[in-house]
Amino acid sequence: MNKTLTMPQQMTDSANIVGIKETINSMIDDLIVSLPNPVELTSDERRGIIARYTAVLEGNFIYWMTAAYISVQAEEARMIILENLHEEVRDAHPAMLRRFTIAANAFPTDVDALAVDESLTKVRLFLGGLSGVQSVVMMALFEGFILKFMEYLTDLAIARGSVEREYTDVHGVCDIEHTEGLFIALAAEMEVNPIDSEKDLFEGAHLLCALIKSIVFNRTLSSAV
């Protein structure tokens, strides 16, 4: 895979990517520092976070990465995203996540799924716009967040008495390469299919942040601060 990862040469694009990466990283860091201390949560609150995370991730991650794939036009971006999808499907990451969640006795109920429904729907509708650059920016935030969230998710599961770690172990490692790959895909896509000037580059990233807050704090968009 690495042989395909070559940055475009234009200095302006490189500078743009550095700035976008800094913004995404800062959005992720804001989410991570806002996480409630697992020790101070009740067992049911810990279950709820794992359950809502699963309600979002299990059925949507591959769907959303596929949306990014069909939205991009740059061949290099397509190849990078396809490699990511290949790994997700080949190694059955949704099955891995389901094992993790069941072991923590936190399988999502209808209440968990509906708690994130409003913000989840907004992300789905946004991706339906098939905007290559915006979709890749959103998925870069998703991969980067998942990477940094794994330690926290592990702590929640341990506190629920689980010893199942394959999902969190795998995603604490493979998502480093996935996140970097998506920024290279972004650079390629910006060169071939730049975003319209009136569009917000971070529209999907902001919607995804709102969804992650729904997962963590069990609040709908209408009640979010």
Residues of this chain that bind Fe ion (CB under 5 A) = 93
**Shortest distance, position 88 Cβ to Fe ion, whole Å:** 5
Question: Please, what is the minimum distance in Å from the beta carbon of residue 109 to Fe ion?
Answer: 23
Q: Which of 92/130 has CB closer to Fe ion? A: 92
Nearer to Fe ion, 103 or 190 (CB): 103
Q: Which is nearer to Fe ion, 183 or 217 (CB)?
A: 183
As a whole number of angstroms, the distance between CA 157 and CA 168 comes to 10
**Cα of 84 vs its chain's centroid, Å:** 13
Euclidean distance between CA atoms 204 and 187, whole angstroms: 17
Q: CB of 19: closest distance to Fe ion in angstroms?
A: 27
| Of residues 13 and 177, the one with the C-beta less far from Fe ion | 177
Q: How far is CA 151 from CA 136, 155, 160, 225, in A?
A: 24, 6, 14, 26
Residue closest to Fe ion, measured at CB = 93
Residue recorded with tokens 């009740």: 42
The nearest distance, CB 107 to Fe ion, in angstroms, is 18
**Nearest in space to 45 (alpha carbons), one of 171, 224, 219:** 219
